[in-house]
């Protein structure tokens, strides 16, 4: 158990819909990362938040957005869903000390999204 | 971040040491080598990381060559539960652009009874 929790575990929805994935980081961690893992593309970094502020963006679509709340939990919002958005979505957290190369990330169990 | 090259798959007999290689010939002086593994579709699990010196923890050992262009993850006594995809990642943390990891395709390790 990494200490990172994600809900829901599974999500099935239809094309065009909007969903919200939730992540609670480990106690004391200030950084939250979101990754997408689809069958044909492996683990792809989406976005990082540090202490409530966006820190880095990866291959995140404009239909997707995220935020980190004052209690440090994070939500990933996916809208206008397409079949190709079906994937595993992982959240990771780290202490997040800026510029520290040994900032180890700990991953949650993931949310499996299926778009029908 | 430096690119890494790993063999796509490996087998290892149960109880034997599993040696997983990784090439990172373009690594720079301040980049760390990290290893994670992913068992089936679970979240990636941190194993170990290092900069220059060899490292050991309760899970594995990390051997980094003197020129730092390659490394080897060693699982000393592989068990069936070690069957997973192992990712080698090199990364430098940048103060203003984040600490994200870039995962490659990894090595699929199968431990055989």
Q: Is it the case that residue A19 has pLDDT exceeding 90? A: yes
Contact B35, B24 (CB under 8 A): no
Measured between beta carbons, the chain B residues lying within 8 angstroms of A96 are 99
Beta bridge partners of B61: B56, B74
Q: Name the residue in chain B with its Cα closest to that of A104.
A: B46
> Residue A101's pLDDT is what?
55
What is the distance between the alpha carbons of residues A81 and A107, in angstroms, rounded to a whole number? 24
Q: Do A58 and B100 touch (CB under 8 A)?
A: yes
Residue listed under structure tokens 């301040």:
B30
Q: Provide mean pLDDT across the span A109-115.
A: 97
Q: Could you identify the residue written with the tokens 């431990």?
A: B111
> Tokens standing for A101?
């190369």
User: What does the mean pLDDT of chain B come to?
Assistant: 91
Interface probe for B, chosen from A21, A42, A43, A99 (most Cβ of B below 10 Å), is A43
**How far is C-alpha B90 from the chain's CA centre?**
9
Give residue A59's pLDDT: 83
Note whether A88 contacts B91, CB cutoff 8 Å: no
**Nearest-CA residue of chain B relative to A87?**
B41
**CA–CA separation, B110 and A75 (whole Å):** 35
Q: Which residue has the tokens 């958005």?
A: A85
Alpha-carbon torsion (B39, B42, B23, A94), positive or negative = negative
Q: Which of residues 5-64 of A touch B (CB under 8 A)?
A: 31, 33, 35, 42-45, 48, 50, 55-56, 58
CA-to-CA dists, residue A74 to A26, A48, B29, angstroms: 12, 10, 33
Q: Per the CB < 8 Å rule, is A104 touching B49?
A: yes
Distances (CA, A) of A45 to A89, A92, A99, A115: 10, 10, 18, 20
**Tens-place pLDDT, residues A34-54:** 999 998 778 899 999 989 999
Q: By 3-state DSSP, what share of chain B in percent is helix, strand and coil, each rounded to 5?
A: 5, 45, 50
> Tell me: the pLDDT tens digits for B36-90?
999 988 999 999 999 898 999 999 999 999 999 999 999 999 999 999 999 999 8
Q: Three-class SS of residue A80?
A: coil
Beta bridge partners of A1: none
Structure tokens belonging to residue A19: 């969903």
Whether residues B103 and A96 touch (CB distance < 8 A) is answered with no
Task: List for chain A the helix, strand, coil content (%; round to 5).
Answer: 5, 50, 45
């Amino acid at each position: 158990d990494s200490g990172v929790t994600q809900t829901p575990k599974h999500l099935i929805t239809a094309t065009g819909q909007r969903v919200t994935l939730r992540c609670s980081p480990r106690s004391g961690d200030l950084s939250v990362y979101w990754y997408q893992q689809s069958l044909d593309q492996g683990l792809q970094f989406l976005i990082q938040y540090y202490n409530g502020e966006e820190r880095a963006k990866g291959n995140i679509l404009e239909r997707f957005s995220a935020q980190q709340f004052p209690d440090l939990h994070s939500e990933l919002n996916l809208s206008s869903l397409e079949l190709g958005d079906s994937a595993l979505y992982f959240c990771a957290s780290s202490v997040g000390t800026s510029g520290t190369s040994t900032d180890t990330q700990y991953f949650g169990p993931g949310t499996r999204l299926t778009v029908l | 971040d430096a690119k890494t090259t790993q063999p796509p798959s490996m087998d290892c007999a149960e109880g034997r040491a599993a040696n997983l290689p990784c090439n990172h010939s373009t690594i720079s002086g301040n980049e760390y080598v990290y290893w994670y593994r992913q068992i089936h579709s679970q979240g990636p699990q941190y194993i170990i990381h290092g900069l220059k010196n060899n490292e050991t923890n309760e899970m594995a050992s990390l051997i980094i060559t003197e020129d730092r262009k390659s490394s080897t993850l060693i699982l000393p006594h592989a068990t069936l539960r070690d069957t997973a995809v192992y990712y080698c990642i090199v990364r430098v943390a940048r103060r203003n652009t984040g600490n994200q990891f870039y995962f490659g395709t990894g090595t699929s390790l199968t431990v055989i009874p």
